[in-house]
Amino acid sequence: MAAHGNNEKTGEGDLSSVMGFSGFGKKARTFDLEAIFEQTRRTAIERSQRARLEGKHSYKNWVCAYSCSGFDELLTHLPLSSILHKILKPLPLSSAPWRLVQDPVRKIPDTHEITLQHGAKTVSALGLDPSGARLVTGGYDYDVKFWDFAGMDAALQAFRSLQPCECHQIRSLQYSITGDVILVVAGNAQAKVLDRDGFQVLECIKGDQYIVDMANTKGHTAMLNSGCWHPKIKEEFLTCSNDGTVRTWDLNNEKKHKSVFKPRSLQGKKVTPTCCTYSRDGKLIAAGCQDGTIQIWDRNLSVHTKFHCRQAHAPGCDTSCLVFSYDGTTLASRGGDDTLKTWDIRSFRKPINVATGLTSYFPMTDCCFSPDDKLLVTGTSVKRDEGHGTLVFLERQTFRKVYEIEVASASVVRCLWHPKLNQIMVGTANGLAKVYYDPVRSQRGAKLCVVKSQRKQKQAETLTQDYIITPHALPMFREARQRSTRKQLEKDRLDPTKSHKPEPPVSGPGRGGRVAAHGGTLSSYIVKNIALDKTDDSNPREAILRHAKDAAENPFWVAPAYKR
């Protein structure tokens, strides 16, 4: 059998040599697949880098980078499954095209915006409930306004406005984790808690300002700077004040704070905390102080700090914001020295990244992380009529400025990126609260109210004829109407009651049973008459001498006594 097979092969080879051709078909072309895919990958990377330089919106067509010479020819000779396998398998997620698909800049919801008119002064506080249904804004005009996205129409009017702290500027507003109450921190020493409709639930007690040790007072004794809710416990919140303390409170106990944390300088002296926050798990409490330090305590141990950075920001400037990333490992700090820094709390001595040149004129200038934790957002300040306040987006890993939005011709003070709505709320120094959203990537929120037409104002209904309908309008009760007034005047003249002349007012003492206008009681009437009764207007000497002749002729009192 083996010999027979060899003879067959030999015969086939002899036949082909005799017939004068080397094979029965055209020889197939061979491809160096590795070289083709390497060239394709390089071309895609070059084109994607070119697209990155052109701007954010040119990222959408990166797929065309794969159409190169050799790739089209390859499509005609290989099945689709092997092509996709060759493309997708060796291409790591960190390479350029896939990084463009997942680029966080594309997720910024900035295509549309609405403007809410809070007032004429700075919007210094913003708060959104966890579901994203209601927004609260507070400002330097002492007002807190409530906005309901589902209830608003295109007119964009607040459904409630109040002044919970009278003549104190609003410093901070935040909904609790359940969204049923709001923490209001103003420029006074007592924080307040309101319900969703603005009615007061709790007012913190004020401490005794004459006690030296602030741990022995029941509450704050100076102006508040900031406050926030515990991320896990719905009844606990945190405040910091110019009295040099950070205090935690229980919603069910308004008589006294829960615990006290006292920031200290390197020399052990009291320093003022300007902002405070909880970590994402609620186990740590962080405070930024006026001496440039950031101090972090364990929530259950209030004596010594767990982490301490002495030179986080420039001394003497207000650290305006501290915020933890969603993964809980990074802390971002916004300083009054025009910087934004990120810190790894596991190695807290040196910052991970530093961004400079971010002007800040307000003690509550905000910063926040994007919902996917890849971007950091903060606002910049400008002087009046000297440019536009911007919202700056920085990449978290490299701190490279990847995007910027010109918000208004005033400073950007507050910013808030809601993770559920995927919408960005911004508060400005000219009294505006702006909401940025994307119709495709955003959910609910501002999308609900912009589609509603503006309600028409109800006009007051007016009667065309001034008829007055009365119960006595029937003919049997109707009085005969006089056709002329002359006869009626003649009748009134004959009537003694109607034609009686009114009595003139009494001048002097009362007469004829009428009392003068001097007093309502009988005693006052008598005293008045005794004092004012001057009927004899003659000379008093002549009045006495009038009785002299009678006294001389008929002595009665003095002369008879001397005769005896």
pTM of the predicted protein model:
0.63
Q: What is the pLDDT of residues 366-384, one digit of tens each?
A: 999 999 888 999 999 998 8
Phi and psi (nearest 5°) for 494? -80, -20
Q: Taking 60 as the threshold, does the pLDDT of residue 530 lie above it?
A: yes
pLDDT value at residue 168: 92
Dihedral through CA 236, CA 177, CA 201, CA 277, nearest 10? 50
pLDDT value at residue 551: 84
Q: Which carries the bigger pLDDT value, residue 268 or residue 24?
A: 268
Task: Print the SS3 string covering 241-286.
Answer: ECCCCEEEEECCECCCCCEEECCECCCCCECCEEEEEECCCCCEEE
Task: Print the SS3 string covering 48-80.
Answer: HHHHHHHCHHHHHHHHHHHCCCCHHHHHCCCCH
pLDDT value at residue 88: 47
List of domains in the chain: 106-451 (2.130.10.10)
Residue 371 structure tokens: 């919902």
The answer to whether the CB of 62 falls within 8 A of the CB of 48 is yes
3-state helix, strand, coil in the chain (%, to 5): 20, 25, 50
Q: Give the lowest-confidence range in 286-300, 328-342, 403-417, 479-493.
A: 479-493
Q: What is the pLDDT of residues 416-464, one digit of tens each?
A: 999 998 999 999 999 999 999 998 888 888 888 888 777 665 555 554 5
pLDDT value at residue 424: 92
**pLDDT average, residue stretch 230-243:** 92
Q: Taking 50 as the threshold, does the pLDDT of residue 12 lie above it?
A: no
| Confidence category of residue 558, pLDDT binned at 50, 70, 90 | confident
pLDDT value at residue 467: 61
pLDDT value at residue 91: 42
The answer to whether the CB of 516 falls within 8 A of the CB of 506 is yes
| Confidence category of residue 515, pLDDT binned at 50, 70, 90 | low
Q: H-helix or E-strand containing 323?
A: strand 321-324
Q: What is the pLDDT of residues 457-468, one digit of tens each?
A: 555 555 456 666
- SS3 state at 303: coil
CB-based contacts of 533: which residues, under 8 Å, 6+ apart? 509
What is the residue-averaged pLDDT of the chain? 79
Q: H-helix or E-strand containing 391?
A: strand 389-395
Q: Which carries the bigger pLDDT value, residue 478 or residue 59?
A: 478
Q: What is the pLDDT of residues 391-406, one digit of tens each?
A: 999 998 888 999 999 8
**Unique residue bearing structure tokens 């006074």:** 188
pLDDT value at residue 315: 87
pLDDT value at residue 194: 93
Q: How far apart are CA 69 and CA 88, in angstroms?
A: 19
pLDDT value at residue 490: 87
| Confidence category of residue 309, pLDDT binned at 50, 70, 90 | confident
Q: Which carries the bigger pLDDT value, residue 20 or residue 396?
A: 396
**pLDDT average, residue stretch 336-356:** 89
Q: Give the lowest-confidence range in 72-86, 342-356, 397-411, 420-434.
A: 72-86
pLDDT value at residue 84: 46
Q: What is the pLDDT of residues 38-67, one digit of tens each?
A: 888 888 887 777 765 555 444 434 433 444
Q: Taking 80 as the threshold, does the pLDDT of residue 482 lie above it?
A: no
The answer to whether the CB of 142 falls within 8 A of the CB of 163 is yes
pLDDT value at residue 57: 46
Q: How far apart are CA 338 and CA 381, in angstroms?
A: 10
Q: How far apart are CA 386 and CA 518, in angstroms?
A: 73
Q: What is the pLDDT of residues 211-229, one digit of tens each?
A: 888 888 889 999 999 999 9
Query: In this structure, which long-range contacts are made by residues 207-214, counting pairs with CB atoms below 8 Å and at least 24 apart in sequence?
Result: 207/243, 214/243, 214/244, 214/245, 214/260, 214/262
Q: Beta strand 284-289 with 294-298: parallel, antiparallel or unpaired?
A: antiparallel
Residue 82 structure tokens: 């092997």
**pLDDT average, residue stretch 464-480:** 65
Q: How far apart are CA 64 and CA 526, in angstroms?
A: 116
